[in-house]
Amino acid sequence: MPSIRIIQADLNKPRHQADIIATLDAYAQDPMGGGKPMADDVKAHLIPGLQAHPTTYVFLAYRGDPDTDGQAVGVANCFTGFSTFAAKPLINIHDLAVVTSARRMGVGRRLLDAVADKARSLGCCAVTLEVRDDNPAARSLYQSYGFHDNGIPHRFWKLKL
């Protein structure tokens, strides 16, 4: 089996752009991602939107060499936020997805390593994420990595505009 390599994506490279969209679309089609392909207009606006957002960090996982024939098998889309309680930046993992064929091979853990390393280099106080209650595999990964809920019952709410 080829090795897994994690890189910070260059949002100006066409290959990285295509791999971000492909891995997210694969996740969108998974039951945990909603079970439907990403809409064409979302695909068309995703990369320009990420490029325009000043706090974006994207990490890609490749099976094999990312510069030649490697296959993208995972993605972590992250954004810098700010903790008012710590008065320091933090990184929020908005999406962490691994394609079905590469699950349970350590890809998610390697992506978390890359995000945590980036957060440390930026002087962040934490890495945050949200996880579905009905995704035991992801919850297990995050707990084994050291993530925990804050002990305060809460739900993630959204106002759709």
Pairing of strands 71-83, 88-98: antiparallel
DSSP 8-class letter at 101: G
Contact at 8 Å (CB) between 21 and 97?
A: no
Q: What is the pLDDT of residue 2?
A: 62
**Global confidence as pTM:** 0.93
Q: What's the 3-state SS for 115-152?
A: HHHHHHHCCCCCEEECCCCCCHHHHHHHHHHCCCCCCC
What's the whole-number mean pLDDT along residues 80-103? 95
Query: Above 90 in pLDDT, residue 74?
Result: yes
Q: What is the mean pLDDT of the chain?
A: 93
What pLDDT, in 10s, does the model give residues 114-130? 999 999 999 999 999 99
What pLDDT, in 10s, does the model give residues 148-160? 887 776 777 777 8
At 20, give phi and psi (nearest 5°): -60, -50
Domains of the chain, start order: 4-145 (3.40.630.30)
DSSP 8-class letter at 79: E
